[in-house]
Amino acid sequence: MKAEEFLALVQGKQDSAANRGMSLEEELNESNAYYVSHDIASVHKKPTPVQIVKVDYPSRSAAVIREAYFRQPSTTDYNGVFEGRYLDFEAKETRNKTALPLGNFHEHQINHMCLVVKQRGIAFAIVRFTVHDETYVLDASHIIHFWKESIRGGRKSIPYAYIKEHGHLIPVGYRPRLDYLSVVKQYYFS
Amino acid sequence: MKAEEFLALVQGKQDSAANRGMSLEEELNESNAYYVSHDIASVHKKPTPVQIVKVDYPSRSAAVIREAYFRQPSTTDYNGVFEGRYLDFEAKETRNKTALPLGNFHEHQINHMCLVVKQRGIAFAIVRFTVHDETYVLDASHIIHFWKESIRGGRKSIPYAYIKEHGHLIPVGYRPRLDYLSVVKQYYFS
């Protein structure tokens, strides 16, 4: 992997190998900006956590970070509020045709999802199968279930067929491009 | 300001001049860790946003950021979920005896608070007057009100006396040290 590709990856621009149009993260950022600007919801991606070690500061406005390291996030990447409800989700894109590998999640993210559910927030993943060009909202309960099974020696991925059955396909639109809140509203609000 | 002090400040450790025991941010981090570990709430500080420009990467695990810049946050610093409600707040510490300067807030933070309120989230600031050794929960409506007045030529700060009257003093405890959720529960849940 080249330096630019690595940088793009950690900054969430796009997986260079999945480089077919916009990445899931770019579409989510665009959709979230649309929701915010139209007062529909307040959902934001959290910044990439970095441990800052050394800063050059000719003046505060021009401070340059000269040494810093990536830290593992302790939560999911996105959260916010939508019509009185707390939303919390992780976005995962895979080029795998048949399953979403669980290696895409960290244990503390699973623990975080469990706590959000306990606190009556809405927790889910937005999962994109790039090969199928399909993006799903998958409730956290399914991810937690497969995660627990994998710890007990079960499979280390969630089958595509399972997600197709238990997830909710997000229709592709124009504005916003990825209107996941319409799906959230349909399935979580009653 | 020395390099170490600047670094401590941007990383939110503590204002070196206000260095009397724990900083507000440290106490909040400790309290939030307590809430999370006891399943009481899921509230986290967002990472400091940085624009990464250059990364050295002998291997992914050892990637070193060699050039990056601080970006202005587009939201408040803390958010999460507590008993089904979305919480969103900013923490401000001042050594000023008589008022909280509004320069402590940015316009997009005010806009963010407005949207959170519209979406029926709970938005507030946690304000510490270090000289008085008092910390208050102050509802976003007051901050938005004073902000709008200041744009119309009004005062550029919120008086201490006003916050004492309209805010809610957080009692100091042991575990958690700053139990702001007890105050939130008392005043926002009915």
Indicate yes or no: CB of B68 within 8 angstroms of CB of A70: no
Q: Binding residue per annotation — A139?
A: no
Distance of CA A100 to the CA centre of its chain: 13
Is residue A32 situated within a structural domain? yes
**Rounded distance, CA A84 to CA A20, Å?**
36
Is residue B52 situated within a structural domain? no
Highest mean pLDDT among A5-9, A109-113, B3-7: A109-113
Q: Binding residue per annotation — A179?
A: no
**What integer pLDDT is reported at residue A58 of this predicted model?**
79
pLDDT digits (tens, 9 = 90+) for B146-170: 999 999 999 999 999 999 999 999 9
- Over residues B7-16, the mean pLDDT reads 50
Single-letter amino acid, residue B164: K
Percent of chain B with pLDDT over 90: 81
Indicate yes or no: CB of A42 within 8 angstroms of CB of B119: yes
Is residue A138 situated within a structural domain? yes
pLDDT digits (tens, 9 = 90+) for A137-187: 999 999 999 999 999 999 999 999 999 999 999 998 888 999 999 999 999
Q: Is the pLDDT of residue B25 over 90?
A: yes
- Closest CA relative to residue A99, chosen from A151, A152, A142, A45: A142
Reported as a pLDDT band with limits 50, 70 and 90, residue B140 is very high
What is the total count of domains within chain A? 1
Is residue B68 situated within a structural domain? no
- Closest CA relative to residue A86, chosen from A48, A47, A126, A113: A113
User: Smallest CA–CA separation between B116 and chain A, in Å?
Assistant: 6
Rounded to 5°, angle at Cα A156 from A154 and A157? 115
Candidates A34, A52, A76, A81, partner chain B, best to mutate (most B CBs within 10 A): A81
Indicate yes or no: CB of B46 within 8 angstroms of CB of A48: no
Residue in chain A closest to B11 (alpha carbons) equals: A52
Candidates B69, B86, B118, partner chain A, best to mutate (most A CBs within 10 A): B86
Is residue A56 situated within a structural domain? no
| Enclosing domain of residue B115 | 3-47+73-188
User: Smallest CA–CA separation between A134 and chain B, in Å?
Assistant: 29
Indicate yes or no: CB of B66 within 8 angstroms of CB of A63: no
Reported as a pLDDT band with limits 50, 70 and 90, residue B19 is very low
Residue A57 has its nearest CB partner, among B6, B46, B85, at B6
Reported as a pLDDT band with limits 50, 70 and 90, residue A14 is very low
Is this complex's ipTM strictly greater than 0.90?
Answer: no
Reported as a pLDDT band with limits 50, 70 and 90, residue B84 is very high
Indicate yes or no: CB of A81 within 8 angstroms of CB of B74: no
Is residue B94 situated within a structural domain? yes
Q: Is the pLDDT of residue B70 over 70?
A: yes
pLDDT digits (tens, 9 = 90+) for A32-90: 999 999 999 999 999 999 999 999 987 666 799 999 999 988 899 999 999 999 999 99
Reported as a pLDDT band with limits 50, 70 and 90, residue A16 is very low
**What integer pLDDT is reported at residue A10 of this predicted model?**
57
- Over residues B53-67, the mean pLDDT reads 85
**What integer pLDDT is reported at residue B104 of this predicted model?**
86
Is residue A131 situated within a structural domain? yes
Token reading at B48: 């400091």
- Over residues B96-118, the mean pLDDT reads 96
Q: Is the pLDDT of residue B124 over 60?
A: yes
Is residue A166 situated within a structural domain? yes
Partners of residue B38 in chain A, C-beta under 8 Å: none
Residue B182's CATH number: 3.40.1350.10
SS (H, E, C) chain A: CCHHHHHHHHCCCCCHHHCCCCCHHHHHHHHHHHHHHCCCCEEEECCCCEEEEEEECCCHHHCEEEEEEECCCCCCCEEEEECCEEEEEEEEEECCCCEEEHHHCCHHHHHHHHHHHHCCCEEEEEEEECCCCEEEEEEHHHHHHHHHHHHCCCCCEEEHHHHHHHCEECCECCCCCECHHHHHHHHHCC
Partners of residue A37 in chain B, C-beta under 8 Å: none
Q: Is the pLDDT of residue B18 over 90?
A: no
